[in-house]
């Protein structure tokens, strides 16, 4: 779209939810300047037109600071002959760019860049090593050399007078600043009221649409609260969607259905089989453009596909865990470090040996036998795997090492010959806010790193792949800033996360429908790899193939594959990362 004055040209992906308020502000400024009674002329009602008018009025930087929403846009200033690449604050929408043989390429998908005649597409081995450590590639890196992701909250400026290869990147909003802000002295009731008011406002703006709208509902805290506040603002039953699994330890569909009945939503569910998963796997390299291995990408795609059959826009609960302390690792990490930091290393190593001696399956059987007498907070899904993870963590030499060990999989440098480590937010202390509590430190890195590059990538590509628009009310930057201003004990109490969100939700949903151990949106990849996916996996992990392709060191891969097939260990996440790279490489390399 071209601005009314003809100066600016924009290509825009996303939604700016406050565009009506922007129009009113611009009209007010225009009336004050032009004289009473004179009105600005609008050509339509879109948020894109309001964005262009705002940029014409205030400039790129100041206008972008006023935008509330999810967006990636590229703006050409005809007068200054300058290009701007802009991405939203939390990283909901993607934007790739890079110089290739003197040409600047940019787009929302890597596959768009690949069709340019100058495209080379050389594999970045360092980024591959980073991917294998985390099962996704953190910004600003991509799997290709010379191509980068614009980081959240940033504007890249390319002046036509600049030499090819130069890009000036500056931030217009900083999560680091939000996390470093002073904590409020606030009562529980006031915090609850303000959080509900801000979240309700965000939901109300995001429910504005010219097309049918619904919501993902897992029956957990975040999605249940989103749906409850949607239903409060709706005159008809909200459409809600969930998927279930026939494996009981992964199935949340029953809980979602109970919440839906209580809230009175129009609920739809779909049960996933291994056959359904098999049909999704060939689509993943095309959907994600670069290697990506959060295995919940499969149910995310399936629930998006189900939802798109009924609505065009769907709200989700993404962001609640990172902002309000929902992940188990926030309690785990703190408890582990508090207990081990004073112990001599020989004592720690002995403890690690004791924990890892029984197989994960043996631990699972013990927990199953004594599960009913264990405290509720110790009733974990897959306890054997968690205890083996704990055995690895006891050797950590610092609190930050505990966090990195919790989120890391392979040692990428050992698996990718010739690679060297790349600094990212999680490993670069200069990107960490000072004076954070260790739990807040983990929450910050997840919001800065795991949320935009794993969770939001997973949801955006899956939903866009079926023509569904997903919106995340928790990611309104005003709620993000408010959440970081709150004391930690309003988020995590007695080892239980999202305390504040729970108190708000109990006003709408009975506690007994919500209180249960956190399950996550996982799939039984471990069993599927030993069963219906085994033949597919074996072909991709064939030792001679790995040697011939030359990207990965086969020995550790083959060892973990053998241990997994035997049932001695569960290496599903490590193996899924390798398999997704292999499947991606089969299509794109």
Give the residue among 588, 521, 515, 507 at the shortest CA–CA distance from 551: 588
pLDDT in tens, 345-400: 888 888 878 887 787 778 777 877 776 666 655 566 667 777 777 777 887 888 89
pLDDT at 95: 98
Q: pTM for the whole thing? A: 0.92
Nearest-5° angle of CA 335, CA 329, CA 298? 160
Residue 91 within a domain = yes
Same domain, 190 and 313: yes
| Closest among 147, 40, 61 to 97, alpha carbons compared | 147
Helix (H, G, I), strand (E, B) or coil at 572: helix
pLDDT under 70: residue ranges of the chain: 30-39, 249-250, 371-382, 517-522
pLDDT for the residue 37:
42
Residues 148 and 23 in one domain: yes
Distance CA 132, CA 291 (A): 9
Domain that holds residue 105: 8-176
Strand, coil or helix: what is 277?
Answer: helix
60 with 37, same domain? Answer: yes
CATH number for position 462: 3.40.50.620
Residue 585 lies in a domain: yes
Q: How many domains does the chain have?
A: 3
Residue 399 lies in a domain: no
Tell whether 39 and 146 lie within a shared domain: yes
Residues contacting 527, CB < 8 A, separation 6+:
247
End position of a domain, from candidates 176, 201, 225: 176
Q: Are residues 553 and 481 in the same domain?
A: no
The answer to whether residues 200 and 156 belong to one domain is no
Domain at 164, CATH number: 3.60.20.10
Asked whether residue 539 falls in the same domain as residue 509, the answer is no
pLDDT at 383: 76
């Amino acid at each position: 779209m071209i601005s009314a004055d003809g100066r600016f040209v924009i290509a825009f992906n996303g939604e700016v939810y406050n565009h009506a308020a922007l129009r009113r502000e611009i009209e007010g400024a225009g009336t004050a300047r032009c004289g009473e009674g004179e009105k600005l002329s609008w050509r339509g009602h879109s948020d894109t037109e309001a964005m262009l008018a705002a940029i014409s009025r205030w400039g790129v930087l100041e206008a972008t600071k006023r935008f509330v929403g999810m967006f990636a846009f590229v703006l050409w200033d005809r007068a200054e002959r300058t290009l701007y690449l802009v991405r939203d604050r939390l990283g909901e929408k993607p934007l790739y760019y890079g110089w290739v043989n003197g040409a600047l390429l940019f787009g929302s998908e890597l596959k768009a860049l690949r069709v340019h005649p100058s495209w080379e597409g050389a594999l970045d081995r360092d980024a591959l090593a980073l991917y294998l450590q985390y099962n996704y590639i953190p910004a600003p890196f991509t799997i290709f050399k010379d191509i980068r992701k614009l980081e959240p909250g940033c504007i890249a400026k390319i002046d036509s007078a600049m030499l090819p290869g130069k890009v000036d990147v500056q931030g217009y909003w900083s999560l680091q600043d939000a996390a470093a802000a002073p904590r409020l002295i606030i009562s529980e009731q006031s915090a609850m009221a303000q959080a509900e008011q801000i979240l309700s406002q965000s939901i109300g703006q995001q429910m504005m649409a010219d097309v049918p709208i619904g919501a993902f509902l897992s029956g957990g805290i975040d999605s249940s609260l989103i749906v409850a506040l949607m239903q409060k603002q709706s005159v008809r039953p909200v459409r809600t969607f969930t998927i279930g699994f026939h494996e009981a330890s992964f199935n949340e569909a029953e809980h979602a259905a109970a919440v839906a009945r209580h809230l009175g939503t129009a609920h739809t569910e779909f049960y996933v089989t291994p056959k359904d998963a098999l049909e999704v796997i060939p689509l993943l390299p095309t959907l994600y453009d670069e290697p990506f291995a959060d295995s919940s990408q499969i149910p995310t795609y399936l629930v998006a596909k189900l939802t798109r059959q009924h609505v065009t826009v769907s709200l989700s609960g993404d962001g609640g865990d990172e902002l309000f302390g929902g992940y188990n690792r926030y309690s785990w990490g703190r408890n582990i470090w508090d207990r081990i930091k004073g112990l001599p290393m020989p004592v720690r190593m002995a403890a690690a040996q004791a924990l890892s001696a029984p197989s994960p399956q043996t631990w699972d059987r013990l927990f199953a036998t004594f599960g009913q007498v264990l405290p509720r907070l110790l009733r974990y899904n897959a306890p054997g795997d968690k205890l083996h993870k704990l055995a690895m963590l006891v050797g950590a030499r610092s609190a930050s090492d505990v966090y990195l060990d919790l989120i890391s999989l392979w040692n990428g440098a050992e698996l990718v010959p010739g690679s060297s480590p790349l600094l990212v937010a999680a490993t670069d202390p200069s990107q960490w806010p000072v004076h954070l509590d260790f739990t807040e430190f983990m929450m910050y890195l997840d919001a800065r790193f795991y949320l935009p590059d794993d969770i939001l990538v997973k949801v955006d590509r899956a939903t866009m792949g079926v023509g569904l628009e997903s919106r995340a009310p928790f990611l309104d930057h005003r709620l993000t800033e408010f959440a970081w201003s709150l004391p930690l004990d309003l988020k995590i109490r007695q080892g239980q996360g999202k305390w504040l969100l729970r108190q708000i939700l109990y006003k709408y949903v009975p506690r007994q429908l919500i209180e249960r151990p956190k399950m996550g949106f996982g799939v039984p990849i471990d069993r599927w790899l030993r069963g219906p996916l085994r033949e597919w996996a074996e072909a991709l992990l064939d030792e001679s193939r790995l040697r011939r392709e030359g990207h990965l060191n086969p020995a550790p891969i083959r060892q973990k594959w053998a241990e997994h097939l035997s049932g001695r260990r569960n290496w599903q996440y490590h193996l899924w990362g390798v398999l997704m790279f292999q499947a991606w490489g089969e299509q794109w390399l």
